[in-house]
Homo-oligomer: A and B are copies of this chain.
């Protein structure tokens, strides 16, 4: 297996990206190879900083770079040899099995759609995020690909999230919930109210509406919402996780006794930080395009890049794209919105 990694994508590219690739290869035990895509000279320079490079790392030259602030449409038109674009070209040509990028996420998604194309039955690909929780991970979809949605789009997000939970996270018959402001079917905004019946009559394991508090409760393994709500919730969750750690760390240095205590807690604190650290939960899969694509934060750490690469490898191994296409095809009726209408 071979994964194309956008070497120029991210706030601290290429250094951080290269470190992430190296970390991933060391952890994977030869499960996959990585094609680092970007300006050869810059990537080589970054690689030279690393002692005893693991095998399985190759550089694929791409002369252009999409800036974090560039408009996706402009990048698509003008930057035909941009690292992001070349990553997806390699995937379309079958030279790699997946793409991971921490670059301009708008451009990454737009390029994926244009170069790979959408799966049949999918109107709009969606970005999913795997949220950590005491009772296991929850797939939140959409987290930003589509800010204005239709009920049919939400239903498709539900299917795609469900397939992802099954095939990549290994959850059997994932519970699917519609994010709303009350559990009763009548609760929600007009979009959610309209979507509810289609979900209820679909073959999904639909558990009804779930609330903000259920996003980490395990009430559902797949939580569906429009990309505006999902993106706001994702950033809010990340911020609260960091805030919680910050508060606790501050607390542990707030007095002599506390500092003593913190020494006793060293190992527990590591566990805690890990639980709240989004870097452990990989990038966000772009569901509904014809291929495996993962989008990472621009501020991703090497660990976050590495875990996204590992998650992408899981998706390839789980044949995510094939199962998405089959799953969606199978439910064509309800996906066309007929589900709720018999």
Residues of A that sit less than 8 Å from B by CB = 133-134, 144, 147-148, 179-181, 188-190, 192, 211-217, 225-229, 231-241, 243-244, 246-248, 251-252, 254-255, 257-258, 260-262, 264-265, 267-269, 271-272, 275-276
Contacts and interface: CB of A to CB of B under 8 A. Distances in A.
Given A147-B190, A244-B248, 18 more contacts: A133-B243, A134-B246, A181-B227, A188-B228, A189-B226, A212-B233, A212-B237, A212-B239, A215-B239, A216-B240, A228-B229, A236-B236, A251-B268, A251-B271, A252-B268, A257-B264, A261-B261, A264-B264
Contacts of A237: 212, 236, 240
A261 B265 contact: yes
B212 A232 contact: yes
A264 B271 contact: no
Closest CB pairs A-B (n = 6) = A212-B235, A212-B236, A213-B239, A261-B261, A244-B244, A261-B264
Contact of A188 (B147, B192, B238): B147
A215 B144 CA distance: 18
A272 B251 contact: yes
Contacts of A243: 133-134, 216
Contacts of A188: 147, 228
A248 B272 contact: yes
A236 B215 contact: yes
A31 B92 CA distance: 72
A144 B255 CA distance: 41
